[in-house]
Structure 1
Amino acid sequence: MANNYDLVILGSGPGGYVAAIRAAQLGLKTAIVERESLGGICLNWGCIPTKALLRSSEIYHYMQQAEKYGLSVEKPGFDLAKVVARSRGVAKQLNQGVTGLMKKNKITVYFGDGKLTGKDTLAVTKDGQVTNVTAKHIIIATGARARDLPFAKADGERIWTYRHAMTPPEMPTKLLVIGSGAIGIEFASFYNDMGAAVTVVEMLDRIMPVEDADVSEFMLKALTKQGMDIRPSTGVQAIKTDAKGVTAEIKGADGKITSEEFSHVIVAVGIVPNTEAIGLEALNITTDRGHLVTDAFCRTNVPGVYAIGDVTGAPWLAHKASHEGVIAAEHIAQALGKDAHPHAMDKANIPGCTYCHPQVASVGMTEAKAKEAGHKVKVGKFPFIGNGKAIALGEAEGFVKTVFDEATGELLGAHMVGAEVTELIQGYVVGRTLETTEVELMQTVFAHPTISEAMHESVLAAYGRAIHI
Structure 2
Amino acid sequence: MSEQFDLVIIGSGPGGYVAAIRASQLGQKVAIVERERLGGICLNWGCIPTKALLRSSEIKHYLDHASAYGLSAGAVGFDLVQVTERSRKVANQLNAGVKGLMKKNKVTVVEGVATLASATSVKVGERTLVAKNVIVATGARARELPHLKADGERVWTYRHALVPPAMPTELLVIGSGAIGVEFASFYNDMGAKVTIVEMLERILPVEDEEVSAFVEKSLKKQGMDIRTKASVEKLEVKADGVTATINGEAHRFSHVIVAIGIAPNSENLGLEALGVKLDRGHIVTDEWGRTNVPGLWAIGDVTGAPWLAHKASHEGIVAVEKIAEAPHAHPMDKSNIPGCTYSRPQVASVGLTEAKAKAAGHEVKVGRFPYIGNGKAIALGETEGFIKTVFDAKTGALLGAHLVGAEVTELIQGYVIARQCEATEAELMATIFPHPTLSEMMHESVLDAYGRVIHM
TM-score, normalization by structure 2 = 0.99
| Match 2:230 to one of 227, 234, 240 | 234
Question: What CA deviation, in whole Å up to 9, does each residue of 1:251-278 have, x standing for no partner?
Answer: 1xxxxx1100000000000000001111
Does 1:440 pair with 2:436? no
What is the one-letter code of the residue matched to 1:272?
A
What amino acid maps onto 1:269 in structure 2? I
Residue in 1 aligned with 2:118? 118
- Are residue 374 (structure 1) and residue 361 (structure 2) matched? yes
> C-alpha distance in 2, partners of 1:281/1:250?
39
Whole-angstrom distance in 2 between the partners of 1:399 and 1:24: 43
The answer to whether the Cα contact below 8 Å between 1:117 and 1:282 also exists between their aligned partners in 2 is no
Contact 1:26–1:340, Cα closer than 8 Å, also in 2? no
Alignment partner, residue 456 of structure 1 = 443
- Given residue 239 of structure 1, which amino acid in structure 2 is its aligned partner? L
2:2–2:128: 8 Å Cα contact kept in structure 1?
no
Aligned mates of 2:63, 2:42 — CA distance in 1: 29
Q: Helix, strand or coil for the counterpart of 1:3?
A: strand
> Among 295, 318, 324, which residue is 1:327 paired with?
318
CA distance in 1, matches of 2:402, 2:337: 13
CA distance in 2 between counterparts of 1:341 and 1:305 reads 22
Instruction: Tell me the residue number matched to 1:54.
Output: 54
Shift of residue 63, structure 1, vs aligned partner? 0.4
Give structure 1 regions of 4+ aligned residues with deviation exceeding 4 angstroms: none
| 1:282 Cα deviation after fit | 2.2
Unaligned runs of 5+ residues in structure 2 are none
Q: 1:97 maps to which residue? A: 97
One-letter amino acid of the structure 2 residue matched with residue 258 of structure 1:
E
The CA distance in 1 between the partners of 2:454 and 2:227, in whole Å, is: 37
Give the Cα–Cα distance (whole angstroms) in 1 for the partners of residues 391 and 397 of structure 2.
5
8 Å Cα contact 1:176/1:198 also seen in 2: yes
The reply on whether 1:107 has 2:107 as its aligned counterpart is: yes
Partner of 1:283: 274
Cα distance between partner residues in 2 of 1:454 and 1:262: 41
1:54: how far off? 0.2
Cross-structure match for 2:152: 156
Superposition CA RMSD, Å: 0.7
* Equivalent in 374, 394, 397 of residue 407 of structure 1: 394
Deviations 1:42-87 (A, max 9, x none): 0000000000000000000000000000000022110000000000
Tell me if structure 1 keeps the 8 A contact 2:2–2:127.
Answer: no
CA distance in 2, matches of 1:220, 1:119: 47
Q: Is the 8 A contact 1:404 1:410 kept in 2?
A: yes
Match of residue 265 from structure 1: 256
Separation (CA, whole Å) in 1 of partners of 2:255 and 2:2:
50
1:218 is aligned to 2:214: yes
The 2-side partners of 1:232 and 1:428 are apart by 31
Q: Is the 8 A contact 2:2 2:130 kept in 1?
A: no
Q: Structure 1: which amino acid aligns with 2:251?
A: E
Cα contact 1:333–1:340 (8 A) shared by 2: no
Could you tell me whether the CA contact under 8 Å between 1:152 and 1:239 is conserved in 2? yes
| CA distance in structure 2 between the partners assigned to 1:399 and 1:57 by the alignment | 23
Residues 382-423 of structure 1 deviation map (CA, whole Å, 9 limit, x = unaligned): 100000000100000000000000000000000000010000
* 1:159-178 correspondence to structure 2 within 5 Å: 159-178=155-174
1:395 paired residue among 377, 382, 386: 382
Q: Which amino acid aligns with 1:241?
A: V
The answer (yes or no) to whether the contact 1:175–1:197 under 8 Å persists in 2 is yes
Identity percentage over the alignment?
A: 70
Whole-angstrom distance in 1 between the partners of 2:211 and 2:117: 47
Alpha-carbon offset, residue 151 of structure 1: 1.7
Which consecutive residues of structure 1, in runs of 5 or more, have no partner in the other structure? 252-256
Identify the residue that residue 254 of structure 1 maps to in structure 2.
Answer: none
Per-residue CA deviations over 1:17-36 (Å, capped at 9, x if unaligned) read 00000000000000000000
Give the match for residue 308 of structure 2: 317
| 8 Å CA contact retained: 2:337, 2:351 | yes
Matched position secondary structure for 2:324? helix
Is 1:192 paired with 2:188?
Answer: yes
